[in-house]
Amino acid sequence: MLIHHIMQPCMRIATLALSLALVACGALDVDTAPADFVVVDDPRIITEVRYYSADNFVGERIDGYLAPRVYMTRTAYTALLEVVEYLEGFGLGLKIFDAYRPQQAVNHFVRWAEDINDTRMKSRYYPIVDKSNLFCDGYIAERSGHSRGSTVDLTIVDLASGEELDMGTPWDYFDLSSWGAYADIGAEQRANRALLRSAMTRHGFNPITTEWWHFTFADEPYPATFFNFPVE
């Protein structure tokens, strides 16, 4: 009960700040897919849509994921294919975990985070973080850039084996060690993160501080629109 009371003020403050920001930028909610959303289907890109499965931090298929597909805006996807071509020269490729994320999926995350007793996936995805702090620490929010269609979660793979390069933590691992500039990992892991960041930024994507896998196309076509059509 004490944890619940500690969590609620933080959630209210975070929600209010986000709501004010969205009003200021004229954010829109849209339930239909525009024509310039495309399916990622390049054979050189591996996709592993864990939100379509139970292998994710919630532990069940996420609302809005009706098929193991990946959608992106056409402009972001075109830029991503340039990253693919760049990495091919090094015998490397990309694996995508998530890109477009329906708002209904984000809502699913919020409901799950509010149930602090559901910790079935804690040992794998957030062993150190107390679930009651997921809102305060910024791991869960009521809006996601993914819902705008030009954000992607990904890693680098070896083309010959299909194996992921060692980035120091898995994808969607809630911890400070997932920050892009986190230093207390091996030299090879730091180099792999730097390579991913360099490859993405040189082709127009911006990273975020807290997740080494998360990039948004800088010239995104829908910077204030949050889509809710399902992945199917």
Question: Tens of pLDDT along 101-149?
Answer: 999 999 999 999 999 999 999 999 999 999 999 999 999 999 999 999 9
Domain extent for 115: 2-54+67-227
The pLDDT tens digits of the residues spanning 182-207 come to: 999 999 999 999 999 999 999 999 99
Whether residue 191 lies inside any domain: the answer is yes
**Residue 155 belongs to a domain:** yes
Is residue 232 assigned to a domain? no
Whether 61 maps to a domain, the answer reads: no
CB atoms within 10 A of CB 134: 24
Could you give the number of structural domains in the chain?
1
Cα separation values, 21 from 17, 121, 147, 201, 207, Å: 6, 32, 16, 26, 20
Apex CA 190: angle with CA 175 and CA 154, to 5°?
Answer: 65
pLDDT tens for 42-98 read: 999 999 999 999 999 999 999 999 999 999 999 999 999 999 999 999 999 999 999
CATH number, position 207: 3.30.1380.10
Q: Would residue 197 count as lying in a domain?
A: yes
The answer to whether 210 and 85 have CB atoms below 8 angstroms apart is no
* Residues classed as catalytic: 211
Tell me the Ramachandran region of residue 138: left when phi exceeds 0, alpha when psi lies from -120 to 50, beta otherwise: left
Contacts of 232 (CB under 8 A, 6+ apart): 66, 67, 69
| Residue 59 forms part of a structural domain | no
Given a cut of 60, whether residue 17 has pLDDT beyond it is no
Is the CB of residue 38 less than 8 Å from the CB of residue 74? yes
What's the pLDDT tens digit per position in 101-113? Answer: 999 999 999 999 9
Asked whether residue 135 is assigned to any structural domain, the reply reads yes
pTM exceeding 0.85: yes
Amino acid identity of residue 146, one-letter, is: H
